[in-house]
Structure 1
Amino acid sequence: MKALIATGNSALPDSLELADVPEPAPNADEAVVAVEAFSVNRGEAMLLNGAYGTPADRGRRLGQDIAGVVVQAAGDGSGPAVGTRVVGHPEGAGWAEQVAVPTTKLAVMPTGLAATAAATLPLAGLTALRLVRAAGDVLGRRALLTAAAGGVGFFLTELLAGAGADIVAVTSNRARAARLKELGATKVVARAADAEGAFDVIFESVGGREFSDAVAKAAPGATLLWYGQAGLEPVALDFFALIPSTPLTIKHVPHWVSPTTDGQDIATLVRLTAEGRLHPEIGRIADWLDTAKALDDVYERRVQGNAVLTIG
């Protein structure tokens, strides 16, 4: 079968190539899915171009967000039957004609939900959903979201608005600012430093100076949920500068740590989307042969929302 593999080239437009690879050999608890669509994430671009250290080794396979049809059910009897449309969160290798996915990382895709929309849900949606869960009751609370105009930020804004939060979102892009307001943000500012007032809960994913500026906006007793460092700059904090926010709680929130399975949470995201309460933001749909270009544009922030690639 065909799959996209890393070339080892740090230049994103040349970072992938189509290759013949063996068909999936699933474990007993895995179903094989024929992929119809997948989405790509900025973190995957950073793995390929070496932003995290060194470029991905030649031959490495990536891909965490897929939608498609089960063509081989799990041997242990768990999960969906052959022919079921599903959304999945494989641990890499999703940029392929077929991929084996643990049944705990699959959710059924209802009739009427397009594979292109469903493919945006796993990574960005799981991150946003689990951040809202970690924040607790946000009804009537002031929330500050840095880097709000990405895939996670759009989902997070809509989920928080639906839960009753008063949201100030951060982006310097005017078109994305308008969309964030449509999704429920009360106000949009260009930088965390521009936000007015104090916030009960802060969602931070940039690091560096933006982290420090966001912390400076914390109300006494606030919680800051730290879920990324997209700016690749480490955080520097002044103990004494935090005293006005005391007792401030900072929580490190990796999206993959959860008491619920990926499949359970993807099912929630699917339901909210099917009910019209969550709206995947798709900035591009293209053939999967254009994945490398899409990754380059996502990395350079030329795509608003998610980039989705289709197979066949």
Structure 2
Amino acid sequence: MTAFQAWRVHEVADGQFEGRVDTQDTSDLPAGEVLIRVSHSSLNYKDALSASGSKAVTREYPHTPGIDAAGEVVESSSEAFPAGSTVIVTGYDLGMNTAGGFGEYIRVPSDWCIAMPSAWDARQSMIYGTAGLTAGLSVNKLLRMGLAPDQGPVAVTGATGAVGTIAVEILAGLGFDVVAISGKTDQADHLKSLGATDVVGRDRLEPGKKPLEKPAFAGALDTVGGEPLAELLKHIKPGGSVSCCGLVAGPKIPATVFPFILRGVNLLGVDSVEIPLSEKADVWSRLAGDWACPKTEASARDLGKSGLGDALGRFLKGDSVGSLVLDHSL
């Protein structure tokens, strides 16, 4: 048994939740084949929901959020991940109803783990985290549908978020003409530094009355959902595709079928939680290789457990920009 610190969310009153650093013991962790000493985690919108008391994400409190974790295996009954292995864990139930990466230790099933790519250390992997994995999966889906740079501009919505910034840099690195769509006009220079050729405000996707608009984008990567996604579909060129991976603007899409039946537009759902490990491993390998995002890595910010509350609050307000990494040593 080992004592450790974890940032846990407590229900302090009916409907009111508060995060604080608690001391726990590894015996408090759930069953699993692999005990991991977590050195780094990353911050995600789902963590912010869990910290706010969203029962759609986390059923019981107190709870340790953190849907991402990277670190060293210290105890294991798995031949695939013996003690001393460095691993990444993202998705599945981690940080939702299973104690997550905001604690200095986690215990998980071995089939939740992926070996750390040789080019990375734990911090580097968590600069990407679920956001990078989601961006990579989204780009992969578009490429599999035949999207190519010579077909025209590609839009990225929510472009200043963690998924959006990585998506902009990956697509630009692949030679695409990227149009970054964001409500944060003060971040235009940053988005252009990542490779965006144009930056437009979110008013570009204000709901209109027309069922279709002039085709502007060969494809798009959408991180926001809701009405902006419905409007975005109207602007996609015939045969184009939109990958959808987020819902910060809402879970409902007030759309018509016209983009689908008159232009053959494809709406592609992206899940980063329950997909096979082989798909995750493929994207991690690409992000550690030819899809690396050095500018995103350079702009990533580190924080300790004491800064989690404020940072997660900014996620819920839509004020977060870029990648945030939790370093348990801070």
- Residue 180 of structure 2 aligns to a residue in which SS? strand
Q: Which AA in structure 2 matches 1:165?
A: F
Is contact 1:10-1:49 (8 Å) kept? Answer: no
Q: Deviations over 1:185-209 (max 9, x none)?
A: 1111002438985212122232332
* Structure 1 residue 110 displacement after superposition: 4.2
- Which residue of 2 is the match for residue 27 of structure 1? 32
Distance 2:126 2:14 in 1: 25
Distance 1:223 1:206 in 2: 16
Distance 1:150 1:222 in 2: 24
Distance 2:279 2:58 in 1: 30
* Structure 1 residue 270 displacement after superposition: 2.9
Is contact 2:51-2:65 (8 Å) kept? Answer: no
- Which residue of 2 is the match for residue 117 of structure 1? 124
Say whether 1:234 aligns with 2:279.
Answer: no
Distance 1:205 1:284 in 2: 21
Say whether 1:225 aligns with 2:230.
Answer: no
Say whether 1:253 aligns with 2:270.
Answer: yes
* Structure 1 residue 13 displacement after superposition: 11
Q: Which AA in structure 2 matches 1:155?
A: I
Q: CA 1:88–1:10 in 2, change beyond 3 Å: closer, same or farther?
A: farther
Q: Which AA in structure 2 matches 1:60?
A: H
* Structure 1 residue 147 displacement after superposition: 0.7
- Which residue of 1 is the match for residue 116 of structure 2? 108
Note the residue ranges of structure 1 that are not aligned, 5 or more in a row: none
Instruction: Give me the TM-score of the superposition, normalised by structure 2.
Output: 0.79
- Which residue of 2 is the match for residue 310 of structure 1? 327
Is contact 1:12-1:48 (8 Å) kept? Answer: no
Is contact 1:139-1:163 (8 Å) kept? Answer: no
- Which residue of 2 is the match for residue 209 of structure 1? 227
Instruction: Give me the TM-score of the superposition, normalised by structure 1.
Output: 0.83
TM alignment of 1:102-251, pairs within 5 A: 102=110, 105-108=113-116, 110=118, 113=120, 115-136=122-143, 137-140=146-149, 141=151, 142-191=153-202, 192-193=204-205, 197-232=215-250, 234-240=252-258, 242=259, 245-251=262-268
* Structure 1 residue 303 displacement after superposition: 3.4
* Structure 1 residue 247 displacement after superposition: 1.3
- Residue 237 of structure 2 aligns to a residue in which SS? strand
Q: CA 1:276–1:163 in 2, change beyond 3 Å: closer, same or farther?
A: closer
Aligned residues: 305
Q: Deviations over 1:96-122 (max 9, x none)?
A: 1111243553232547x5543321222
Distance 1:11 1:145 in 2: 39
Distance 2:229 2:30 in 1: 43
